Amino acid sequence: MSFEMQGDELHAEGVSLAAIARAVGTPAYVYSEAALRSAADAFTTALAGVPRARRMFAVKANPNPTILRTLARLGFGADIVSGGELALALQAGIAPKDIVYSGVGKTPGELATALAAGIGRFNLELEREGEVLSALALARCVRAPALLRVNPHIDAHTHAKISTAMADSKFGIAYGEAAAMYGRLAALPGLDLHGVAVHIGSQITDLAPLRATYRRIGQLIARLRAEGHRITHVDLGGGLGVSYRDGEPAMDMAAYGAMVVQETQDWGVTVLFEPGRFIAARAGVLLTRVLWVKPALPHPFVIVDAAMNDLARPALYDAWHEFSAVQATPDRFVANIVGPVCESSDIFARARVVDRVREGDLAVFHTVGAYGAAMASTYNARPLVPEVWVEGARFAVIAERLPAAAVRPHRLPEWTASRAVARLA
């Protein structure tokens, strides 16, 4: 494994995390190249039985350029949701044809830019978007390649905030309306509509809702073909779950791969996948230092220097991230692990049995390579933390610590300045 104790000290591959803390300070995200590659390979292997599979990394999970470049070399394209992600994917050397543009609220400007870049396809979320995209394409004398995202109304059995296919969800076109809308969009002269897309949620560990979804998609494809439409591509989205704590089940990838083969083998299409979490989550830890241990009943508060602005998942989704000391501790205790931000929700673990850390100790939160740094903010005027890349015995800073005050230029309204001058005069 990539994050392991060597002697009595936690390492990232061949590098001691204490050495990284000395070099770059804390908090810091630390990524392991080997862990990223191993997850990417596991994904590829699981889908080896799907004859025409295309793997697009969901950039939102971790947009760091080193991560994107590494995945591009391993044969991954990109699933993007904004103009910013488009720029990052292109800068990382991902071919435009290997980019799929998802997202419920693309701006007309973003659509135009992506069209000009020649991306592989747009996943349409509503009819108006298709009309606007068609007009933009006609103006350029091209046809925009597109899929229609369908909402199959299936409960993914995951956290409510990361479910995307409930009846009241904002994503996709309701299953019952999809065929008719597909017909209208397929008739637009500026669109090359050639299939459907679906994504029912994230951190899914139960195969059943995914199988039910793919069955529905299979039925829809059959119906669309019967109505004379050409279906060459189907995008099955992402959502595969990983294990965040000891004993918690992850998606069984061999079973998933076999299920996909079974459900899609008669479709005769290219199948796209958009995994984010499965690829990146296990490749990162958040390195932090214990600032204080505050005695309290029934359990002490371990106040670390990382906070909800650096890692938002616990505050947002009650997510569990394992916490462990960098230097082996002789025993464990029950504690609350909290950050310094002035919010009661800035809590990483409540009444949890953890390594008995003390003031000044280093520790890490595990499994934060996906939706960790990607979701960081500067709340409480805290800096964005650096990201460090480890490969074997080497490490490099791949994103600098960004002082909060320097995130963007600020200025006073000019009239307050002149007022001050007037007062002085």
Active-site residue list: 342
Residue with smaller CB distance to ligand LLP, 111 or 362: 111
CB 131 within 8 A of CB 151: no
Considering the complex, what minimum distance in angstroms separates the CB of residue 357 from ligand LLP? 25
Rounded CA-CA distance 45/337 in Å is 38
| H-type alpha helices, 203-336 | 207-226, 253-264, 277-280, 313-317
Q: Parallel, antiparallel, or unpaired for β 233-235 and 270-273? A: parallel
Residue 203 within binding range of ligand LLP, rule CB under 6 A: yes
Find the binding residues for ligand LLP in span 155-194 (CB under 6 A). 162
Q: Hey, what amino acid is at 181?
A: M
Q: Which two tokens stand for residue 238?
A: 């992402």
Taking the CB of residue 22, how many other CB atoms lie within 10 A of it?
11
Among 166, 181, 299, 317, binds ligand LLP (CB under 6 A): 317
Find the binding residues for ligand LLP in span 332-371 (CB under 6 A). 370-371
Find the binding residues for ligand LLP in span 276-295 (CB under 6 A). 276-278
Among 2, 102, 151, 288, binds ligand LLP (CB under 6 A): 102
Find the binding residues for ligand LLP in span 62-81 (CB under 6 A). 79
Q: In which element (H, E) is residue 222 found?
A: helix 207-226
| Binding pattern for the stretch 238-277 against ligand LLP, x by CB under 6 A and - elsewhere | xxx---------------------------------xxxx
Residue with smaller CB distance to ligand LLP, 104 or 258: 104
Considering the complex, what minimum distance in angstroms separates the CB of residue 40 from ligand LLP? 13
Residue with smaller CB distance to ligand LLP, 162 or 325: 162
Which range in 37-45, 87-95, 206-214, 237-245 contacts ligand LLP by CB under 6 A? 237-245
Rounded CA-CA distance 116/138 in Å is 12
Considering the complex, what minimum distance in angstroms separates the CB of residue 278 from ligand LLP? 6
Considering the complex, what minimum distance in angstroms separates the CB of residue 276 from ligand LLP? 3
Among 12, 20, 36, 58, binds ligand LLP (CB under 6 A): 58
Residue with smaller CB distance to ligand LLP, 371 or 389: 371
Considering the complex, what minimum distance in angstroms separates the CB of residue 422 from ligand LLP? 50
Rounded CA-CA distance 269/277 in Å is 25
Rounded CA-CA distance 111/132 in Å is 9
Query: How far is the first Cα of the chain from the last one, in angstroms, to the nearest whole number?
Result: 69
Which residue do the tokens 């899914």 mark? 204
Considering the complex, what minimum distance in angstroms separates the CB of residue 120 from ligand LLP? 14
Rounded CA-CA distance 210/197 in Å is 13
Residue 199 within binding range of ligand LLP, rule CB under 6 A: yes
Q: Parallel, antiparallel, or unpaired for β 53-58 and 3-6? A: unpaired
Any residues with CB less than 8 A from the CB of 81 and at least 6 apart, and which? 59, 60, 101, 102, 103
Q: Which two tokens stand for residue 83?
A: 């103009």
Q: In which element (H, E) is residue 123 found?
A: strand 121-124
Residue with smaller CB distance to ligand LLP, 203 or 336: 203
Binding site for ligand LLP (CB under 6 A): 58, 61, 79, 102, 162, 199, 202-203, 237-240, 274-278, 313, 317, 370-371
